[in-house]
Structure 1
Amino acid sequence: MSKNSDGRLYVYRGGQGEIIEKKSRFIATVKQVKSEEEAVSFINETKKKYWDARHNCSAFVIGKRQELTRCSDDGEPAGTAGRPMLDVLLKEDIHDAAVVVTRYFGGVLLGTGGLVRAYQQATKEGLLASDIIEKQDGSILLIRTDYTGIGKLQYLFAREKITVIDTEYAADVLVKAVIPEADRERIEKTITEQTNGTAKQEWGDEVTFAEHDGEVLLFEE
């Protein structure tokens, strides 16, 4: 998982990863959650599903600034499960996500260090099995040009990796793009320079957006 300096990583679709450590089975189940109530409900559902497991340890992080965090060792030695799991979420800059690591005890004690490593590795496997997207804050930019200018714009969009939402061809060409907040002034200036001021630009709504499988996703936050 990687991101640029202005993005935040979110679980778009949860997944499940698993490791075996000294005969103990660790199953990490990850889900997108947007509130503490959703997180608690997911944790309880997972505990019911794996009712016969020795432990169902959990961690979740919620909020644009990861302001709400909780974790539970669920009977494991204090600090060996929930907190290490939470540390993975925080370090990976994951937002609005909960993870439950279910342990089926294999009869061999792992020790505190072994437990920490196992729960962290299981959490990482769960994230790798999940669909992670990067959300950014930005603004809609409407660009109107004639047909002779669209080629220059398309070259510029490709070079600057600008996300185009829609293009309308009529008497002239109207391009709807989304620009990261940090790039607003630079992109506006670059378009003006590259088109000698012939392209008309108008800023629209502020949005939160992400790209997934070639599709642009817009979010209300």
Structure 2
Amino acid sequence: MTTDESHRLIPANTVRVELRVVNSRFIGSAGPAATVEQAKAFIAAVRAEMPDATHHVYAYIIGHGASTIEGMSDDGEPAGTAGRPVLSVVRGSGLGDVVVVVTRYFGGTLLGTGGLVRAYGDTAKAVLADVPRIEKIARRTLLVTIPYAAYEPVRRLIAAHDGVIEDEAFAADVTLEVSVPEAHGAALIEALRGVTAGRANIVT
């Protein structure tokens, strides 16, 4: 796998693992987040699920390649011992649009700076190792206005090009808001013009 390919990978769903380190429980939760708002909602959901935990350390990376937004928090652990090692693991995972929360239930024994770094880093590695990965497919939006007579054949064409109708408006003509994979966009536009004999108005 090349670096370019890895930058397009995102989590397919949410995963959770648990490690025990010197009586402390470390629970790693990881999942997809396409925006900072989604990452914050994921973190808030984990906090709400385990409100009695000692710490909820997190890190996220939104986006891929050179244009990413990162965030992290030590959540009360000594600075640099929790959020930073989790973020380091996330950076090295090849995933984008990902959020990781490591929840700690303190077990009564202090782990020390090195112990904390290892425990948080190891939990992040364990949960990301279990995360199923899918490729993020770039999509584009088309605004398509067609005669009523073309509605059914156009719907079939959109489906055949892996497109999704996000919205429909019925007035003098039918206007469809269509999301389609970038790789299929040009072929769909050409097919739409063909099936409507050039009567489709397409805004890209």
> Given the two structures, how large is their TM-score scaled by the length of structure 2?
0.64
Q: Which amino acid aligns with 1:39?
A: A
Deviations 1:124-151 (A, max 9, x none): 11112221234578xxxxxxxxxxxxxx
1 CA distance for matches of 2:99 and 2:48?
A: 16
- More helix, by proportion: 2
1 CA distance for matches of 2:31 and 2:131?
A: 8
Assess, with a 3 A threshold, how the Cα gap between structure 1 residues 36 and 94 changes in structure 2: closer, same or farther.
same
- 1:86 aligns with 87
- 2:30 aligns with 30
- More strand, by proportion: 1
- 2:178 aligns with none
User: Runs of 5+ in structure 2 lacking a partner?
Assistant: 139-160, 162-180, 185-204
- 1:41 aligns with 41
User: Runs of 5+ in structure 1 lacking a partner?
Assistant: 138-175, 177-204, 209-221
Deviations 1:94-141 (A, max 9, x none): 10010110001111111111101110110111112221234578xxxx
Assess, with a 3 A threshold, how the Cα gap between structure 1 residues 207 and 124 changes in structure 2: closer, same or farther.
farther
Secondary structure at the residue paired with 1:79? coil
What does 1:1-221 correspond to in 2, within 5 Å?
3-7=1-5, 8=7, 9-65=9-65, 67-135=68-136, 206-207=182-183
Q: Which amino acid aligns with 1:120?
A: G
Assess, with a 3 A threshold, how the Cα gap between structure 1 residues 101 and 130 changes in structure 2: closer, same or farther.
same
Over aligned residues, Cα RMSD in angstroms? 2.0
Contact 1:62-1:97 within 8 A present in 2 as well: yes
Contact 2:93-2:128 within 8 A present in 1 as well: no
Contact 1:14-1:129 within 8 A present in 2 as well: no
Deviations 1:161-188 (A, max 9, x none): xxxxxxxxxxxxxxx9xxxxxxxxxxxx
**Post-superposition, which runs of at least 4 consecutive aligned residues in structure 1 deviate over 4 A?**
134-137
State, as a whole percentage, how many aligned pairs show the same letter: 42
Q: Which amino acid aligns with 2:15?
A: G
Q: Which amino acid aligns with 1:42?
A: F
> Given the two structures, how large is their TM-score scaled by the length of structure 1?
0.59
Contact 2:31-2:99 within 8 A present in 1 as well: yes
2 CA distance for matches of 1:63 and 1:80?
A: 25
Contact 2:58-2:73 within 8 A present in 1 as well: yes
Q: Which amino acid aligns with 1:96?
A: D
Assess, with a 3 A threshold, how the Cα gap between structure 1 residues 104 and 52 changes in structure 2: closer, same or farther.
same
Secondary structure at the residue paired with 2:64? coil
Contact 2:19-2:26 within 8 A present in 1 as well: yes
Q: Which amino acid aligns with 1:132?
A: R
Aligned length: 140
2 CA distance for matches of 1:34 and 1:206?
A: 18
